[in-house]
Structure 1
Amino acid sequence: MRAEGEQGSTGYAAAELEGFYAQQGLTFRPTWATSGTVLLQGLVSGDFDVANHGPAQLYDAIGNGACARALRPTQGAACGVIVRTGLHLDTTLPYPRVLTQLRGRTIGVAARGAAQELVLRSLLKDAGLNPDTDVSWVAIGVGAAAASALASGQVDAAMSYSQLETNLAAEGSRYDKLVDLAGSHTLLGAFWQSVAVANCGWADDHHDTVMKFCFALNQGFEALEKDPAAGPRAFAWLGLGPDPGRARILWKTYNMPVVDIPPLNRTNWNHQAKFASGGTAPDISAYVVDGCATA
């Protein structure tokens, strides 16, 4: 399995820590990655069986001929648009007008063409900006490197997420949030920040194993909802928080997108296409493993 060592991997971590994979006779071996392109290449080639990936980039890849099977959403909307405090932008303006202040600014994303950029490009268009000419894009990676890029002024703005905000706080770096996009009640609607995606060959040839994996993963998410200690344990395992106490605080702050995930249905599946550059969702019956989300 491959994923980012971040909030979107919380369900996987909970399933491992609670022993749900082992109960199904499965061995969980995560490999962390920071690039959606690397994730897709490894998944399609069969280097690993499952990846955690943004649906918009997945849809575009399928449209270009890649084969992958979606299992279930693993995180709801968990981001925001943040800027350096020193820019003194007006955070009280309504959306989408508030984003017009990004004209001429430099925006940092984990990797060019990744899910963060695709979503933000859609928001900029809502604000009447041309994402290709009105702003500049810089790949800043994730973790400490991304925090440093924003804090040092290498970029003016970025799409925020729990790991970035945590690293900025650890450095004592302040930021302003122009748009809060965390939760299903925001302007993104029934948005999935990430979905579990399986290699086509593995999913098609090992259906029983896939269902065992889905059952264990679903148990992990159930534990996150029902066991107050499961989330902090998973955050600590993922490195979100230097100690159990800090992990508990961070879980309290950032748990919503992990426990409030819009369900997998045709309407929500098609909704993700709004943020894909192709603008079209692939056929749900062809690219979703039936029964995984409810296993």
Structure 2
Amino acid sequence: MTTLRLTRRHCLQAAGVFAAALALGPRSLSAQTAARTVKLGVGLKSLNASVINLLIGEALGYNAAEGFTVKGMAVGGNANVQVAVDRGDVDIGIGVPSYALPILAKGEWGEAINFYQYTYPYKWDVAVKPGAAIKAYTDLKGKNIGVSDFGGTEYPVTRNVLKNMGIDPDRDVKWTAVGSGVPAGVALQRGAIDALAYYDTGFGLIEGAGIPFDILTRPTGLPMIGGQFLMALRDRVKNERALMVGFGRAAAKSSAFLLANPTAGAKAFLKLYPETAPRGSSEEEAVKAVLVAISRRVKLYQAPYDGYKFGQINPDEFTTEMALNGMEAKDLSRFYTNDLIADINAFDVAAIKAQAMAYNG
């Protein structure tokens, strides 16, 4: 049985992987040269629509309005993002608590801080072949569960869900890494695994490939864990506050835009990253593929908590996840901040919605 234990030392050892990672930059649609290029580290092997609300501000003018242009860098894994942020190789990275909280609990947390929650819980599910005997999470005991890889967020999160139900994720199930996207769906379709644990946009890619599957009904009392965040070095957040606020505001505007008109958002994304379209597809087919991929994700751009603004962080998510894993951190103040949220949300949401509805690509 393969298990994953991540320490800060492991993160630093991943630096060699980061050095060889794929870095993709968008094709800028504006003739205007922004004052600053912001390097965004993403824990993917290649950029895709799962981070659409962090990228389309380039096409919509939101980044230029804040004085920057973004360079999305797919560095291959969440541990690599942590390394890149700690070393200053990227300006901003996507923070994933399932990897960061164990480091915090050991007292080994570095100089990064999460300042904006760009997608909220809960985005993971378990799928089975249509007509399978597995009908509920309780039926997963003794089964072989596929994940994209053991560095993917679905692995620790699904382990926590099973543990919360009284199923030992080490003894009661088998875990198999089956690859990302369509290969994961093929593994399920061919019976190489009994079930597939994955996240929303991943299932969208499988659905877009025409591979059928059934999603198991989520158990009651699902822990609200697994949000994803923007993080940067504390000194950068302090000394380059305007830039960090600007990046967060561009992400918030892009989120509002997508919530108002996902089709327009898909068109903007494809203008930036046409290489992500299915090979040989028409524009209409390419837009549809993006929409299928993001349909579950877009609704998670808004917090599931009353009165929360775009990007506002609920620390209860951290304490809940730590409790599930027998961990504790007495002080979260070095791990997250909401100090930028009010300034990030200083924009006219109605105007962004109107722009979205009028957008023609």
Please confirm whether the aligned pair reaches a TM-score higher than 0.5, indicating the same fold.
yes
Contact 2:208–2:292, Cα closer than 8 Å, also in 1: no
Which residue of structure 2 lines up, in the alignment, with residue 55 of structure 1?
97
**C-alpha distance in 1 between matches for 2:260 and 2:304:** 15
**C-alpha distance in 2 between matches for 1:235 and 1:160:** 23
Letter of the aligned partner of 2:316 in structure 1? N
1:138-172 deviations in whole A, cap 9, x for unaligned? Answer: 22332233223323333222223233323323443
The answer to whether residue 352 in structure 2 is matched with residue 292 in structure 1 is: no
**C-alpha distance in 1 between matches for 2:298 and 2:277:** 12
Letter of the aligned partner of 1:233 in structure 2? K
Q: What's the CA shift for 1:211?
A: 2.2
Q: 1:282 to 1:45 in 2, by over 3 A?
A: farther
**C-alpha distance in 1 between matches for 2:62 and 2:190:** 43
**C-alpha distance in 1 between matches for 2:224 and 2:85:** 26
Out of 293, 306, 320, which is 1:274 matched to?
320
The answer to whether residue 41 in structure 2 is matched with residue 2 in structure 1 is: yes
**C-alpha distance in 1 between matches for 2:292 and 2:158:** 28
Out of 70, 75, 92, which is 2:114 matched to?
70
1:40-65 deviations in whole A, cap 9, x for unaligned? Answer: 12222221121123223222233341
1:46-98 deviations in whole A, cap 9, x for unaligned? Answer: 211211232232222333413221011111222211123364222xxxxxxx2
Contact 1:74–1:195, Cα closer than 8 Å, also in 2: yes
Contact 1:75–1:261, Cα closer than 8 Å, also in 2: no
Which residue of structure 2 lines up, in the alignment, with residue 122 of structure 1?
160
* Greater Cα radius of gyration, structure 1 or 2: 2
Segment of structure 1 superposing worse, 118-127 or 129-138? 118-127
**C-alpha distance in 1 between matches for 2:330 and 2:264:** 34
**C-alpha distance in 1 between matches for 2:41 and 2:99:** 16
The answer to whether residue 191 in structure 2 is matched with residue 153 in structure 1 is: yes
**C-alpha distance in 2 between matches for 1:8 and 1:74:** 11
Letter of the aligned partner of 2:171 in structure 1? T
**C-alpha distance in 2 between matches for 1:278 and 1:240:** 43
Alignment of 1:98-247 (within 5 A): 98-112=136-150, 114-180=152-218, 187-188=221-222, 190-227=224-261, 229-233=263-267, 236=270, 239=276, 243-247=286-290
Question: Greater relative contact order (Cα 8 A, min sep 6): structure 1 or 2?
Answer: 1
Q: What's the CA shift for 1:175?
A: 1.7
Q: 1:189 to 1:284 in 2, by over 3 A?
A: same
Q: 1:33 to 1:107 in 2, by over 3 A?
A: farther
Structure 1: which 5+ runs fail to align? 91-97
**C-alpha distance in 2 between matches for 1:157 and 1:34:** 24
SS at match of 2:339: coil
SS at match of 2:162: helix
Which residue of structure 2 lines up, in the alignment, with residue 94 of structure 1?
none
SS at match of 2:89: coil
Which residue of structure 2 lines up, in the alignment, with residue 12 of structure 1?
54
Letter of the aligned partner of 2:299 in structure 1? M
**C-alpha distance in 2 between matches for 1:9 and 1:255:** 10
Q: 1:219 to 1:142 in 2, by over 3 A?
A: same
TM-score with structure 1 setting the length: 0.81
1:240-284 deviations in whole A, cap 9, x for unaligned? Answer: 775124434555555312345554667x31223333435435734
Percent identity at matched positions? 21
SS at match of 2:334: helix
Q: 1:198 to 1:230 in 2, by over 3 A?
A: farther
Letter of the aligned partner of 1:247 in structure 2? V
SS at match of 1:72: strand
TM-score with structure 2 setting the length: 0.68
